[in-house]
Amino acid sequence: MKILITGGLGYIGSHVTVLLIQNGYEVVCIDNLVNTSLSVLDGITSITNKKPYFEDIDVCDTKKLKELFNKHSDISGVIHFAAFKAVGESVNDPLKYYENNIGGLIKILKYTVDKSIPFIFSSSCTVYGEADELPITEEAPLKKANSPYGNTKKIGESIVEDCCAAFKDFNAILLRYFNPIGAHESSKIGESPQGIPQNIIPFLTQAVAGKQSHLKVFGSNYNTSDGTCIRDYIHIMDLAQAHIDSLNYLIEAKNSNSCEVYNVGTGNGVSVLELIKAFEKATGEKVPYELSEPRSGDTVAAYADPKKINKKIGWVAKHTLEEALQSAWNWEVSLNSDT
């Protein structure tokens, strides 16, 4: 079967591409290379010994998308990652996020709904906002988003749900995942954002490696065990596997509803300071950090109740926090050895 991955050279997309190839799928990968590079394609090829079909395409480019679907009329599934994802940047430049994240989703959906292609949407726990109860279940009410990024995911989910309701043969899964970290065990692909990292782990590893002076811990007086934000950190390979399992679930028509929603997380809440300590324990490296003012758009605490995906799709997170952090550090070390 042939699977289209948008944003396929991005952090999550590249790891999903690897697993798809290793599971016997043919992969068509598109990416506009705004927040990644072609070197990721080499990493994927090195791991799998197979080069996926790749085109430099922006999902907002209607002409190129049409040409792609004409060329690959036998696509059996779509996993949609292509979106900007930095909370802070979205607060400062909301129109960039709405134009790209919503516009790109609409354009890709025009082809998938017409052909009734199973669709996996990359959503986020940000749709819950500041949840009333922890851990967060899929039944938790969706709050007003704390950032334009979170709002694009919330709006995106509604668009997919509306398409499932309007097109009777169109089926989709919304995966609300929590905080992916780590890298492939080979250290040939990992999280490598362009410019200053917006996510905590690449910033942390760069601080340890001396590329950044220190890690800023945004907020230290929250109502948590140690005053810092709490998140559910999930190994990137566990998250990638959730996409494969969800795709197979849809293709095999095991879904009972045309649009189903699943949390993807470990169920464990970890504070920023606990994360730093776990990294130091796993790697033996010291993290230079300082406590800073809270950051606009941040949620205080969020961690998943993953029972639904455990039971219905059969996916379970298998990697430990320490394994994820060690793999992230190994990836950082490999980047430094290449320069």
Residues 6 or more apart whose CB falls under 8 angstroms from that of 121 comprise 80, 105, 156, 157, 160, 172, 173, 174, 175
200-229+268-302+327-338 carries CATH number 3.40.50.300: no
Residues 6 or more apart whose CB falls under 8 angstroms from that of 320 comprise 235
What is the fold, at CATH topology level, of the domain defined by 2-183+233-267+303-318? Rossmann fold (3.40.50)
d(CA 21, CA 18): 5
Active site residue 149: yes
Give the confidence band of 254 by pLDDT, cuts at 50, 70, 90: very high
The predicted pLDDT at position 147 comes to: 85
The predicted pLDDT at position 129 comes to: 85
Tell me the mean pLDDT in the region 266-279: 98
Catalytic residue among 11, 25, 97, 149: 149
Domains of the chain, residue spans:
2-183+233-267+303-318, 200-229+268-302+327-338
Give percent of the chain above pLDDT 70. 99
The predicted pLDDT at position 338 comes to: 64
What does the mean pLDDT of the chain come to?
A: 96
The predicted pLDDT at position 264 comes to: 98
Are 182 and 240 spatial neighbours (Cβ–Cβ below 8 Å)?
A: no
